[in-house]
């Protein structure tokens, strides 16, 4: 057997394996179908050249070539078609060019079957080669034209695409096809009588390796296990051929002329060496391939277990989504991640959490129920959406480009799509392996119930906030007379001074009083309006170091008229002034406003309200608000902090429940001491440092 045919036989086998498995992996994908056909053409062309090395005479060589040359003749059309699909450039003009390329290829194939492509084959070195004819030269030019045109499209797409995966797919396909075509044309030198070693057989294996590498590392077709085996056994075949060649070379070098390629002794020696070394070499190659393409860097079960344990304790949506994102990014080291959740009001999936994004308007990348993406998830159940493997155009292509995601994972609850996790490329620029995809799918599956519970909790919180705000508005209604009185006094003073301004402008004493009193009254008016605005505004939680007695003074100023109407005296008993705590000023003001206002409303006539600040405890500040009202029964005390419970004829019943929640969220405590006909005391404890 001619050992120089082994690379071509290897190429035939590997390309056939690629063709079959790529095709059966996804028979509906145009990319898979065309690549499978292209690989099949390469396999048949390799098999054609394999036969030219083993045929005993020129007649059989021509018959063999006429039979199997169709792979060479149809290959340019298949390669051109494949490169256009890979470059995402199937325009109407290019479709016509694809039909034209196949038409030319079919014409050449028919001529080849009738033996018209070549007339005679000659022996050149270790193989047979055809004498060039006009049709043979035209077929060679046909190969050069369509492959070059296809490569030009690959280069054009490589320059404009922003996708890392697409760039790397194009890069390795370009290198592989360029090497394959360039060295393939060395075969024409044989037809011209140049006796050179046909290195294109080895290049064909390299081309297959580059395609395999692209598939493995950049997920062109997602058949990694098949390709891994192909790499291993291709390498093994190459090693066997190398051993055989080495034995022959050594025998010739030492002058052992009686050893020929078909010698039983040589074949036996080769078989013994291969048999002894096959398993260890195979295992060694297997380990290398695994390390390069299938390395496992994390224990997914351990991480998922820890993720699940923490998941059950998170009821607030923000920290929950952060936990999901942290787990994925810290495990897979992805550059970007975003989580979209359904908004039941407008039925849109909008971004609720994102990492490393700079989106001015998150609405730009929202999806709607029933659109392309959501419908795809409904149709494909829990399947992951690979952006690179689906033809996305128009608006959705723009949105997915802004998300910078490589894949989108559905979050479903009871078969209903409630969210989408968009995952960007890895920092290492490696592809996502099957273990990675299973890991992300498990994260999404485990998170669905927790996300839904957190969303319901958030909706309940929003409802509570709106009710708490309504309660504040009720309190403001009670303060209306106080506000009018407090505003009226400075306005009267300002009005009096301005009316006298024209008559007494020359009076120096008047001008001095004007310069002193009017700014003071304006400042007082501004303070009242600011206090009123701050109290009524719906604010976000903002913790800072606050002065408690200052807040109390501010509240007493707003409530002074209400207290004066009932002839209520307010007594302040502070262990010291300028006592500060770390808290949300707006919320603490709301609590104290509710309690002091309740005390004023509880006293039917003349009475006393005592406000005490005690800082004897090093950890907590104690605030007491004591009134001389009628007191509260034991039965009602148990109900006071429940939402909507009230003993007033007018009121929402949310004031004290709001106060209770705020104090608890601050890490404090609130209690009530009351005795009928003697009064009530509210005792609030708040930590100094929050």
Tens-place pLDDT, residues 597-649? 889 888 988 899 999 998 877 788 999 999 999 888 888 887 777 766 666 65
- Tell me what pLDDT residue 74 has: 92
What's the structural domain count of the chain? Answer: 4
Q: Which DSSP helix (H) or strand (E) runs through 289?
A: helix 264-293
Of the ranges 111-125, 191-205, 445-459, which one carries the lowest mean pLDDT score?
191-205
Q: Which residue has the tokens 């006592």?
A: 579
Structure tokens at 34: 């065309």
CB burial readout 357-367, b (16+ within 10 A) else e: beeeeeeebbb
- 350 touches 341 (CB < 8 A): yes
- 143 touches 76 (CB < 8 A): yes
**What is the SS3 assignment for 40?**
helix
Assess if residue 498 is contained within a domain.
no
Residues 606 and 665 in one domain: yes
Residues 164 and 60 in one domain: yes
CATH of the domain at 370: 3.30.450.40
Pairwise CA distance, residues 519 & 521, whole Å: 5
Instruction: For the chain, state the CA radius of gyration.
Output: 42
Percent of the chain at pLDDT > 70 equals: 68
Residues 190 and 318 in one domain: no
Q: What range does the domain containing 434 cover?
A: 300-453
Query: What are the two backbone dihedrals, phi and then psi, of residue 338, each rounded to the nearest 5 degrees?
Result: -145, 150
Structure tokens at 210: 């580059």
Residues 321 and 390 in one domain: yes
Assess if residue 150 is contained within a domain.
yes
pTM of the predicted structure, to 2 decimals? 0.43
- 29 touches 35 (CB < 8 A): no
As beta bridge partners, residue 580 has 547
Pairwise CA distance, residues 559 & 30, whole Å: 76
Residues 193 and 246 in one domain: no
Tens-place pLDDT, residues 358-394? 654 556 678 888 787 788 887 777 677 765 445 555 5
How would DSSP label each residue in 293-310? HS---S-HHHHHHHHHHH
Residues 44 and 150 in one domain: yes
- Tell me what pLDDT residue 651 has: 55
Pairwise CA distance, residues 85 & 28, whole Å: 14
Tens-place pLDDT, residues 104-154? 999 999 998 888 888 888 888 778 888 888 888 898 889 889 988 988 888
- Tell me what pLDDT residue 98 has: 92
Residue where a domain stops, chosen among 234, 264, 295: 295
Structure tokens at 282: 């195979």
Of the ranges 34-38, 295-299, 471-475, which one carries the lowest mean pLDDT score?
471-475
Longest Cα separation, the chain: 137
CB burial readout 600-626, b (16+ within 10 A) else e: bbbbeeebebbbbbbeeeeebbbbbbb
Residue where a domain stops, chosen among 419, 453, 487: 453
Assess if residue 461 is contained within a domain.
no
Tens-place pLDDT, residues 538-574? 455 678 889 998 889 888 887 887 888 888 999 999 8
- Tell me what pLDDT residue 640 has: 79
**What is the SS3 assignment for 340?**
strand
Q: Of 441 and 390, which is predicted with more confidence?
A: 441
Residue 581 clears pLDDT 80, i.e. is over it: yes
Residues 545 and 637 in one domain: yes
Assess if residue 440 is contained within a domain.
yes
- 443 touches 421 (CB < 8 A): yes
- Provide the pairing of β-strand 607-614 with 568-574: parallel
Nearest to 468 by CA among 643, 664, 666: 643
Residue where a domain stops, chosen among 421, 453, 485: 453
Structure tokens at 544: 């800072």
Assess if residue 524 is contained within a domain.
no
């Amino acid at each position: 057997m001619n050992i120089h045919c082994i690379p071509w036989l290897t190429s035939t086998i590997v390309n056939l394996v690629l063709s079959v498995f790529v095709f059966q992996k996804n028979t509906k994908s145009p990319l898979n179908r065309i690549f499978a056909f292209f690989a099949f053409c390469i396999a048949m062309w390799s098999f054609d050249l394999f036969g030219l090395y083993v045929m005993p005479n020129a007649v059989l060589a021509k018959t063999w070539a006429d039979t199997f040359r169709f792979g060479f003749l149809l290959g340019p059309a298949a390669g051109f078609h494949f490169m256009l699909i890979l470059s995402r450039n199937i325009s109407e003009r290019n479709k016509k060019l694809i039909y034209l390329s196949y038409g030319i290829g079919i014409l050449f194939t028919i001529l080849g079957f009738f033996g018209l492509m070549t007339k005679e084959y000659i022996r050149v070195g270790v193989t047979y080669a055809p004498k060039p004819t006009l049709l043979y030269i035209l077929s060679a030019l046909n190969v050069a034209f369509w492959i070059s045109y296809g490569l030009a499209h690959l280069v054009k797409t490589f320059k404009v695409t922003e996708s890392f995966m697409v760039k790397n797919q194009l890069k390795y396909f370009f290198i592989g096809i360029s090497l394959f075509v360039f060295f393939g044309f060395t075969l024409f030198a044989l037809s011209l009588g140049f006796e050179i070693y046909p290195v294109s057989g080895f290049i064909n294996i390299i081309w297959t390796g580059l395609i395999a590498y692209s598939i493995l590392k950049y997920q062109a077709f997602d058949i990694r296990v098949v390709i891994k085996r192909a790499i291993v056994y291709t390498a093994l075949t190459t090693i066997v051929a190398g051993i055989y060649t080495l034995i022959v070379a050594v025998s010739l070098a030492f002058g052992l002329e009686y050893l020929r390629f078909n010698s039983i002794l040589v074949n036996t020696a080769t078989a013994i060496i291969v048999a002894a070394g096959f398993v260890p070499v195979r295992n060694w190659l297997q380990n290398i391939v695994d390390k390069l393409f299938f390395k496992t860097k994390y224990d997914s079960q351990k991480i998922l277990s820890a993720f699940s344990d923490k998941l059950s304790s998170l009821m607030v949506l923000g920290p929950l989504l952060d936990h999901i994102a942290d787990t994925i990014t810290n495990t897979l080291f992805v550059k970007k991640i975003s989580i979209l959740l359904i908004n039941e009001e407008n039925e849109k999936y909008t971004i609720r959490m994102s990492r490393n994004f700079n989106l001015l308007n998150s609405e730009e990348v929202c999806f709607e129920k029933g659109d392309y993406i959501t419908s795809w998830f409904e149709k494909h159940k829990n399947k992951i959406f690979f952006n690179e493997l689906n033809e996305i155009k128009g608006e959705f292509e723009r949105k997915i480009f802004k998300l910078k995601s490589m894949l989108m994972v559905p979050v479903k609850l009871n078969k209903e799509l409630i969210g989408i996790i968009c995952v960007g490329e890895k920092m290492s620029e490696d592809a996502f392996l099957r273990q990675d995809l299973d890991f992300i799918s498990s994260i999404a599956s485990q998170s669905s119930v927790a996300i839904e519970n957190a969303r319901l909790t958030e909706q309940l919180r929003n409802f509570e906030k709106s009710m708490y705000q309504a309660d504040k508005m009720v309190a403001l209604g009670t303060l209306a007379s106080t506000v009018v009185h407090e505003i009226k006094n400075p306005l009267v003073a300002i009005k009096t001074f301005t009316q006298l301004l024209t008559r007494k402008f020359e009076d120096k004493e008047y001008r001095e009083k004007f310069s002193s009193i009017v700014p003071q009254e304006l400042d007082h008016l501004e303070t009242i309006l600011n206090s009123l605005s701050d109290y009524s505004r719906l604010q976000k939680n903002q913790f800072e170091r606050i002065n408690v007695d200052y807040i109390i003074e501010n509240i007493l100023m707003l409530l002074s008229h209400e207290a004066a109407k009932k002839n209520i005296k307010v007594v302040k008993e502070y262990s010291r002034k300028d006592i500060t705590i770390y808290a949300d000023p707006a919320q603490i003001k709301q609590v104290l406003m509710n309690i002091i206002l309740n005390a004023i409303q509880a006293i039917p006539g003349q009475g006393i309200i005592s406000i005490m600040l005690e800082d004897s405890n090093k950890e907590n500040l104690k605030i007491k608000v004591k009134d001389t009202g009628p007191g509260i029964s034991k039965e009602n005390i148990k109900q006071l902090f429940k939402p909507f419970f009230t003993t007033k004829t007018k009121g929402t019943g949310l004031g004290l429940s709001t106060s209770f929640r705020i104090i608890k969220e601050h890490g404090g405590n609130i209690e009530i001491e009351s005795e009928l006909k003697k009064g009530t005391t509210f005792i609030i404890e708040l930590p100094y440092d929050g």
